[in-house]
Amino acid sequence: MIRRTTSFVALAVLASVFLAPSAQAARFYMAGDLGWTFLIGADQFDDDLSYGGAIGIDFDGPALEFTAKYSSFDGNELDLPIVGTVGGDLDVLSVGLSLRYNFDAGPIRPYVLIGGVYHVVDFQTFDSVDQAQQLLKNDQNEFGLIFGGGLEFKLGDHVTLGPDVRYNLVFKDSFDSIPQIEDTNFSDYPDFLQITGRVTFYF
C-alpha cells in the first residue's frame, strides 16, 4: 500500500511541475484505441483484443492523459477429476492517468509516457457440466504502473493516426485457486503488453 500511495503522489507532483509552465498552450484531445493485449507469462489464458479511449490536455510537448482500456481473455480448459473440464474467464478494465511527452518531428510526432493505473478485474472459473455454476469468482482489483510510447502521424491540424504501445506492470496479489484443487493454473494475475492503433482528434 505504501508503494502504491508513493507512486501516485510522485505522479501528481511531477504533473504539477511538468505541466504548469506551458498552461497557455493547452489543447484538448480525444483518442480511440483498438489492438491486442499480450499476457506476460500466463499461458493459461489466450491473448485477446483490447479497445478503449483517452482524453487529455496537450501543452505543446508535455501532456496529461486519462485512459480506459478493456480486454477479455478466455482461459484454456483443464481436465480435472470429479469436476470434469474446467474453463475460465478474465475480464480487465484498466483506468489510468499518465504523463506524456511529445517530440515534434514534423509530420511524425513520437511520444513517451509513464503513469499509474487501476485494474478492475473480473475473474471466474466454471465447470463443463453447468457453466452458470461458478467454482470460483474473484474480483481482485489491482494497482499498477504504465510505461510506453507511440507515434502520431499527422493527417491534418486536428487528426493523427499511429501505433500506441504500453506495458502494464501490475502490483500483484495472487488469486485464490479453486478450493481443494491444486495446479488449476488460474492463480496469478499477469503483467501485460498492449499494442493498439490510435486515432486522435485535437481541438
Burial bucket for residue 82 (CB in 10 Å: 0-12, 13-18, 19+): exposed
Q: Quick one: CATH architecture of 2-202? A: Beta Barrel (2.40)
Tell me, what's the pLDDT at 121?
80
Residue 80 and residue 102 in contact, taking contact as beta carbons nearer than 8 Å: no
Q: Say what the alpha-carbon torsion angle 96, 97, 99, 103 is, to the nearest 10 degrees.
A: 60
Tell me, what's the pLDDT at 180?
39
Burial bucket for residue 104 (CB in 10 Å: 0-12, 13-18, 19+): exposed
β-strand partners of 96: 67, 117
Q: Which residues of the chain have pLDDT under 50?
A: 13, 17, 21-23, 81, 83, 129, 131-135, 175-186
| C-alpha cell recorded at residue 81 | 477429476
| C-alpha cell recorded at residue 76 | 484454456
